[in-house]
């Protein structure tokens, strides 16, 4: 099929639920060719543990598929483990394996072999315990692709929320919201909504930092001194920005009805609303990369690995989002 694209899927931590998610999704035929970058032996053992009859079809640079795998089948680019996996139990010996799957998948995107990358959760702690400096997927892929600035955006059906700051203590947030940072993040958000989501003129709602967006300076001056002047400068460049608006009333139907994305100043300002709206069906999108990357919004759930008692909703949304983004990028 001529409109079929290839996507890389990394299962993340081999002892967690990532391999399970990949196998459970393989029960249905996907819209595109999905290549699981993983150990064939691991996927075979986990399928047996889950009592799933999934045909594993080995593929790689010499024989990339040209169509989606049939139902109950999964393409696998075999990537050897460091040591056999005991489901639910972390092992430092497989830290390098996890990073190898990411490197293969990310480089494959850069080389044009894949239209995008979808990632299942990794366990940062065990990778660091193995003596490898690793702060997360986002930073790893930024380094791999030589990208200086990336933006974290979570999305669910009907709402996208991007963040100016991410994993910072609350006491450090105000100092981190500088003109330069706000300019960079907003420009990346605008550009990727346009180029990767196919929105010609993105309409972005911007949260204030303080309660009531500072209430004219009575509850903080960041809106007056930093946020509003920066937004005005970006408006003069042609960006469609509304705000700064009070976060407690921004997330209402009146404001969100014609909104393409919300830009929140800090992690817990925007994400609780999004996760409430899309719990179990949200996706993490890394903006600013030269490749498409989406991810689940949950962790490795070691205690659920091998049980089959998991929800594939977030990974399915991550797949669908990556498909939509790639198709938008390919439109004339």
Known binding-site residues for substrate equal 137-138, 275, 284, 293
> Residues near 235 by Cβ (< 8 Å), separated by ≥ 6?
241
Return the DSSP state at 69.
P
Task: Give the span between the Cα atoms of 292 and 166, in whole angstroms.
Answer: 20
Question: In whole angstroms, how far apart are CA 247 and each of 18, 83, 112, 187?
Answer: 34, 48, 40, 21
**Residue environment code for 162-178, b if the CB has 16+ CB neighbours within 10 A, otherwise e:** bbbbeeeeeeebbeebe
For Cα atoms 178, 182, 187, give the angle at the middle one, nearest 5 degrees: 155
Question: Residues marked as binding for a divalent metal cation?
Answer: 167, 212, 267
Q: Where are the beta strands (DSSP E) in 66-202?
A: 73-78, 116-119, 151-156, 159-163
Q: SS in 3 state form for 237-305?
A: CCCEEEEEECHHHHCCHHHHCCCCEEEECCHHHHHHHHHHHCCCCCEEEEECCCCCEEEECCCCCHHHC
Question: Residues marked as binding?
Answer: 137-138, 167, 212, 267, 275, 284, 293
């Amino acid at each position: 099929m001529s409109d079929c694209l290839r996507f890389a899927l990394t299962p993340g931590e081999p002892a967690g639920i990532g391999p399970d998610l990949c196998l459970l999704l393989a029960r249905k035929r996907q819209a595109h060719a999905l290549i699981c970058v993983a150990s064939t032996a691991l996927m075979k053992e986990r399928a047996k543990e889950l009592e799933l009859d999934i045909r594993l079809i080995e593929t790689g640079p010499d024989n990339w598929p040209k169509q989606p795998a049939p139902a109950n089948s999964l393409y696998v680019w075999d990537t050897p483990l460091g040591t056999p996996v005991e489901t639910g139990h972390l092992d430092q010996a497989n830290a390098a394996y996890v990073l190898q799957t990411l490197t293969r998948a990310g480089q494959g995107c850069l080389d044009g072999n894949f239209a995008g990358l979808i990632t299942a959760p990794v366990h940062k702690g065990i990778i660091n315990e193995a003596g490898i400096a690793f702060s997360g997927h986002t930073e790893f892929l930024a380094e791999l692709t030589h990208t200086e600035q990336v933006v974290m955006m979570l999305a669910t059906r009907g709402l996208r929320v991007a963040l100016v700051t991410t994993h910072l203590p609350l006491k450090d947030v105000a100092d981190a919201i500088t003109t330069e940072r706000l300019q960079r993040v907003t420009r990346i958000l605008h550009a990727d909504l346009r180029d990767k989501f196919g929105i010609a003129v993105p309409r972005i709602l911007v949260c204030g930092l303080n309660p009531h967006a500072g209430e004219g300076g009575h509850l903080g001056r960041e809106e007056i001194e930093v946020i509003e002047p920066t937004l005005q400068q970006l408006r003069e460049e042609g960006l469609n920005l509304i705000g700064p608006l009070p976060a407690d009333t921004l997330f209402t139907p009146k404001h969100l009805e014609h909104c393409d994305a919300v830009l929140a100043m800090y992690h817990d300002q925007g994400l609780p609303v999004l996760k409430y709206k899309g719990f179990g069906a949200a996706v993490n999108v890394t903006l600013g990369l030269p490749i498409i990357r989406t991810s689940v919004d949950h962790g490795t759930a070691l205690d659920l690995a091998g049980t089959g008692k998991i929800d594939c909703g977030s990974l399915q949304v991550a797949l669908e989002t990556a498909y939509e983004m790639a198709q938008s990028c390919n439109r004339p």
